[in-house]
Amino acid sequence: MKLGSAEMVDFGLGEYLTQYPSKRYPIYTRGNAGEVWPEVAYPLTITLTRTVGEEASAQAAINAGVISRKDIVEGPSCFGGVFAGYMYLNLSFGRMIAVRTPGTTIEKSDATYYGSEQQAPKYVPHKNDKNFLASMKLIRYGWRMLHTTEISFLEPDRQLVHHWEERLPKILKSTDQELVSTLREIMQPVMHLFTNHLDVTGQAGGAVQLLSTVCEERLNDRSLALTLLGSLGDVDSAAPSFALWELGRMVANDPTLTSFFDEGITELEERLRESQDCQLFIDNFDSFLKEFGSRGPNEWETACETWGTEPSNVLVLIDRMRLADAEKSPTHRAGQLLKNREQALSDSRSQLKGFGLWIFNKALHGSVLFSQARERSKTTIINLIHVARLISRELAKRTAAQSEKGELIDLWFVLETELDEYINNPDAFEKRISDRKNVRNELSKRIPPFIFQGNLPDPSTWPLREEQELKEYPNLSIGDALEGLGGCPGIAEGIARVVNDPSEPGALGPGDILIAPLTDPSWTPLFVPAEAVVVNVGGQMSHAVIVSRELGMPCVVAVTDATQIIEDGSRIRVNGSSGVVTLLSDPEK
């Protein structure tokens, strides 16, 4: 097995997709990767996209000048990979980049991208980590970043995806073999888009780190950067929340719609569509699905449902949104954050002069420009992935119909190299698919290590999720505090509501504080009625941080085991600047 390849390997639970870890870059983390790919990956998606991700990662890093091909002679697993079905990023490789980047540190890099600094092994220098030529290239790269005024590829990339979306109706009428060929064909533009996304992500991270450093060294307040990046506007990840808020207001202000929602979510969409009194809502709902249908939980995985393929998940979010007070409007909250940002900006500039003011302005401009571009480029990729998802689903429907016991999901348990054989004879794969389903189910029951070094621990030794729920965690006494990373400034107090699935928000209501294991776009609407958000994992470039800054709510990430330690119903205080979460009172019994 080649180091970078992804193959089926038996870890004692049965065969499932895995790669071999790098010896040169031995530390891997679920930090950030767990947000993008929280569940066990499906074989088809990974084997179809693996080369795309590896080549895009390599090209983006080479474009930045941070590496040359000789830095990845072991293979592409230096960037990350799938290990026993779970996606990981390579922390060692990220740390090497930090060493080569003038003005940053291992700690700052860990906090910005991975949120792993509390659990990661101590950095051990490697003789090849430092590279003077790479550092000089990075300085040149950073200089270009500071002087960039616009990002030219964003609009052409959107047009590329639009072209594929226009082709989709005709594609879905193609033969089975043509659908397979199109799935392979679409990977080339996906690689192009992903390369651009990684390029802009690196520049966004560099700009934010520089801004934070300027605030720390020249204004004596590193957390000031969080305020300066609040309510930037035109951030794609936050856009669904604003749209869902308007749908929620429609329901809250209409007695007929309210009565429909009061009857429950079950078959709600059908009941709404059958009512003549609800057509305006349905028109707006369909417009939402058209614009944001590619978004949802685990949206990078083509096997998973999105808002467009499972609209009932959107209605669950609207149902929670309609109960929020009008003052929780994301537009209102963002407006207050914008005032804070403008005041902080004025105060900062008044304290700086000369080179200090120049570098501050450049770092701030770069942070805003590239942060917005990062979210836009991500949305563009997600939209193209959705095209691939719909093509896959059409093929899955056809192959499932050919088999007496076939299911829609079966297709995603086939490797890319098996596709041609599978579409000709799905029944021949019945046992193979059944075995792979059983193994995925077993892996899903277990909690993968957040960080591992060297060889991946045998999955049979991973703790079971049901056992983890019974594990004893530290008991907090009133006044005790947990520490994480501040994501969005502000202080909030409220009742902690532990939510492990965005489609099942439980008792989360207006004024409560959301405690989540991780967040992706499917969680975003739950931010709106909440007072603050606390997340188990995540770095300062994570989804939760970016969205909370747009919605104007305190946020703390990388609070290890927050969902287990903080008891549902307890009253807590969240300090989004310091990253401290304090227990104020126990739940009422």
* Cα 383 to Cα 174, 331, 374, 388, distances in angstroms: 21, 25, 14, 9
Cβ proximity of 523 and 461 under 8 Å: no
- DSSP state letter for 335: H
Report pTM: 0.90
User: Per CATH, which fold does 470-585 belong to?
Assistant: Glucose Oxidase; domain 1 (3.50.30)
Residues of the chain with CATH 3.50.30.10: 470-585
Predicted pLDDT at 176? 97
Instruction: Round to whole Å and give the CA distance between 21 and 310.
Output: 36
Instruction: Round to whole Å and give the CA distance between 561 and 576.
Output: 18
Tokens, residue 428: 């021949």
Instruction: Round to whole Å and give the CA distance between 69 and 49.
Output: 21
Instruction: Round to whole Å and give the CA distance between 537 and 544.
Output: 10
Q: For the CA atoms of the chain, what is the radius of gyration?
A: 24
User: Phi and psi for 481 in degrees, rounded to 5?
Assistant: -135, 150
pLDDT block averages, 10 residues each, the chain of length 589: 68 88 91 85 93 87 88 78 93 91 82 64 91 92 93 97 97 97 96 95 89 92 87 84 92 96 94 96 97 91 94 90 82 81 94 95 95 94 97 97 90 96 95 96 94 92 82 86 89 94 82 89 80 86 83 88 92 94 89
Predicted pLDDT at 3? 47
User: DSSP letters of 66-130?
Assistant: S--GGGGTT-GGGTEEEETTEEEEEHHHHHHHHHHSTT--HHHHIIIII--TTTSPPP---TTT-
Q: How many CB atoms lie within 10 A of CB 188?
A: 10
Tokens, residue 544: 């939760």
